[in-house]
Amino acid sequence: MAIKSFDTSKTDLNGKSILITGGTGSFGKMLLKAILRDHNPRRVIIFARGEYNHFLLQNSLPEEHVKKVRFFIGDVRDMDRLVMAMRGVDVVVHAAAQKQVPLAEYNPFECIRTNVIGAENVVQASIRAGVKQVIALSTDKAVNPINLYGASKLASDKIFVAANSLAAATGTRFAVVRYGNVLGSRGSVIPFFRDLLKKGATELPITDLRMTRFWITLEEAVNFTLSCMPIIQGGEIFVPKIPSMRLPDLVEALSPGMAIKNVGIRPGEKLHEIMITEHNASHTVDMDDRYVIEPEWHFWDRTNLVEKGYKTTPEGFEYSSDKNDDWLTVDELRDILATIPEGGE
């Protein structure tokens, strides 16, 4: 399988208090599982606004794990609630977001309130609470955005990078992880296609046969995030080296020989995604299994990276899904799909 396994052996969350915003979502649940399996945290706080999703998650945990988990109903739009939830917290993983592109286009103010104002609230609450480390999830759609969701996540990325200047005296450090589409997450194309197949579809809709995407499994997205924690200085955007995939290959992996209906690109959609632009190349470091986009701030010190032999990416470098050196084949996709629950994760 072309998707790499990211080393989390240097990540130590033993005895720490961790808060996950959007903790009842696909990523949050997988992260909680990984933390409880591989670490002995003091507690993990699940911060999310959906009461029923809290209930479902709580009842899915083994009894010995429930004692370690706190279920905190709240919204990242509510600063006071965030400050209260972050008391005594060491690490925050910010996964809460509104991420459905068409819905964001139709409900722009709601998207901004969650993805931009919510990001600012997380920054301010983390500084007030004295949190040591904050890592925020981003997306390839934040790079050269053409839709509101991408633009809101670009703004969020800028907020978290700049927050290191605001928090210099407190010691709180902020960083961002940016990756592509997550195979099998709720609301993604795989559960959508599977649902159509269950209903007897004789063809599957593809917006453009040329379309490519970066792909990562949910487990590896979690492992990548965890693996970044020990090397955070503050202000980095971490980008994993992950494979690309052609959308027609996904259809072939799901249902061999299935007809494809070309429905045209939807508003706010790109043919290909980019995770690192040519502009960023001059301050991006290649760390073998990932790239690190350095902040354009004076406080960044990459001496330790240079001493370890890591180099800046060459002039003109661009990390895009259509120019990737690593591609998932139909057989590899089929093997991955076999591990993903029918309803998504």
Amino acid 304: pLDDT: 64
Amino acid 186: pLDDT: 72
Q: What is the CATH number of the domain that holds 174?
A: 3.40.50.720
Please tell me the total count of domains within the chain: 1
Amino acid 299: pLDDT: 59
Asked whether residue 249 is assigned to any structural domain, the reply reads no
Residue positions annotated with a catalytic role: 141
Tell me what percent of the chain is helix, strand and coil, each rounded to the nearest 5. Answer: 40, 20, 40
Our measurement of the distance from residue 116's CA atom to the centroid of its chain's CA atoms, rounded to an integer in Å, reads 16
Amino acid 298: pLDDT: 62
Which residue range(s) make up the domain with 87?
17-180+216-242+277-319
Asked whether residue 341 is assigned to any structural domain, the reply reads no
Point out the residues of the chain with pLDDT beneath 70.
1-4, 187, 298-306, 343-345
According to DSSP, residue 327 is labeled B
Asked whether residue 237 is assigned to any structural domain, the reply reads yes
Q: Give pTM, 2 decimals.
A: 0.93
Asked whether residue 57 is assigned to any structural domain, the reply reads yes
Contacts of residue 226, Cβ cutoff 8 Å, sequence gap at least 6: 6, 8, 11, 31, 34
Amino acid 268: pLDDT: 77
Asked whether residue 137 is assigned to any structural domain, the reply reads yes
pLDDT digits (tens, 9 = 90+) for 212-265: 999 999 999 999 999 999 999 899 999 999 999 999 999 999 999 999 999 888
Asked whether residue 8 is assigned to any structural domain, the reply reads no
Residue 75 contacts residue 49 (beta carbons within 8 Å)? yes
Amino acid 3: pLDDT: 55
pLDDT digits (tens, 9 = 90+) for 299-319: 566 666 667 778 889 989 999
Residue 38 contacts residue 63 (beta carbons within 8 Å)? no
